[in-house]
């Protein structure tokens, strides 16, 4: 489903190479996890896939269901079924969470040639989805993420993900800064969305998230490349021994 080949990326306004040949395939129905030391390029990979500016792709390709992503605008990638849950969700003062969600959902439906959801239909769906994620109805009325706790912001990302029903979900350290209960809620949200037609790329620092979201494949990223891939046991190895052994082995 998501197919990344030999992806090389540098900063647009600085001659600094960040991704140095990433190869990665995520099949429909599978959960792939990426772990790796700080600064290895994990967030950059998720930004480049979702269309954030400031990066230049100098080589390689990235396709979703065979369609090249890299030439598309960010909103076209979203319409194609890509979703990114941010490591640091942004606060948007003055924009109600519900309005934001409805605008996003309808923009996506429009881009796909589908009818807009009526206000009543949307309200019913968003309330039910929020409830299932244990999100307080009050949070729907407040401005996007403003004054939300760390856990509430992350759950709000999962709510957006659930409402947009993407084909390919990328979560960038959605567990960072969360207590165990909030992390479990995020994991439950992800698990509820697991589906044979949907792929996940879960970027995480901690093995403990992977206790709750059981990945099919674990990749280790370092210095702009995937240096090792394996099963869930690879995450346990990292938890127990850190990255040093794997880095040394690859060198
Ligand atoms: P990770 O998410 O694995 O911690 P990042 O993708 O955030 O890694 O960063 C990879 C490297 O690229 C780091 O050295 C970081 O400082 C650098 N980098 C990423 N984006 C920028 C930017 N916009 N300007 C300068 N350096 C950047
Ligand atoms: Mg980091
Ligand atoms: Mg990061």
Would you say residue 29 has pLDDT above 90?
yes
Ligand closest to the CA atom of residue 41: 1
The verdict on the CB of residue 18 being under 6 Å from ligand 1 is yes
| pTM beyond 0.90 | yes
Say how many Å lie between the CA of residue 99 and the centre of ligand 3: 29
Per-residue HEC secondary structure of 9-24 comes to EEECCCCCEEEEEEEE
Question: pLDDT tens-digit profile of 169-186?
Answer: 999 987 777 788 888 888
- The structure tokens listed for 23 are 């190869």
Q: What is the pLDDT of residues 143-160, one digit of tens each?
A: 999 999 888 888 899 999
ipTM for the predicted complex? 0.95
Residue position matching structure tokens 């990433």:
22
Give the pLDDT confidence score for residue 181 in this predicted structure.
Answer: 82
Q: pLDDT above 70 covers what percent of the chain? A: 100
Q: Is 190 left (phi over 0), alpha (psi -120 to 50) or beta?
A: alpha
Count CB atoms within 10 A of the CB of residue 184: 15
What is residue 173's predicted lDDT score, i.e. its pLDDT?
85
């Amino acid at each position: 489903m998501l197919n990344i080949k030999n992806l090389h990326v540098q900063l647009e306004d600085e001659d600094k190479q960040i991704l140095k040949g990433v190869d990665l395939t995520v099949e429909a129905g599978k959960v792939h996890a990426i772990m790796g030391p700080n600064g290895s390029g994990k967030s950059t990979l998720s930004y480049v896939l979702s269309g954030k500016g400031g990066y230049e792709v100098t080589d390689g390709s990235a396709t979703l269901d065979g369609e090249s992503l890299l030439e598309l605008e960010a909103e076209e990638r979203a319409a194609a079924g890509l979703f990114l849950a941010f490591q640091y969700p942004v606060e948007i003062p003055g924009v109600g969470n519900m309005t934001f969600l409805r605008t996003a959902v309808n923009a996506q439906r429009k881009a796909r040639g589908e009818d807009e959801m009526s206000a009543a239909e949307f309200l019913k769906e968003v309330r039910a989805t929020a409830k299932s994620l244990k999100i307080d109805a009050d949070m729907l009325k407040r401005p996007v993420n403003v004054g939300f706790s760390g856990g509430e912001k992350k759950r709000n990302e999962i709510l957006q993900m659930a409402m947009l029903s993407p084909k390919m979900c990328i979560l960038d350290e959605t567990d960072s800064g969360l207590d165990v209960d909030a992390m479990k809620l995020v994991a439950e949200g992800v698990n509820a969305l697991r589906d044979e037609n949907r792929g996940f790329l879960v970027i995480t620092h901690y093995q403990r998230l992977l206790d709750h979201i059981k990945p099919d494949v674990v990749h280790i990223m370092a210095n702009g490349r995937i240096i090792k891939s394996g099963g869930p046991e690879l995450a346990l190895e990292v938890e127990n021994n850190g990255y040093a052994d794997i880095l040394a082995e690859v060198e």
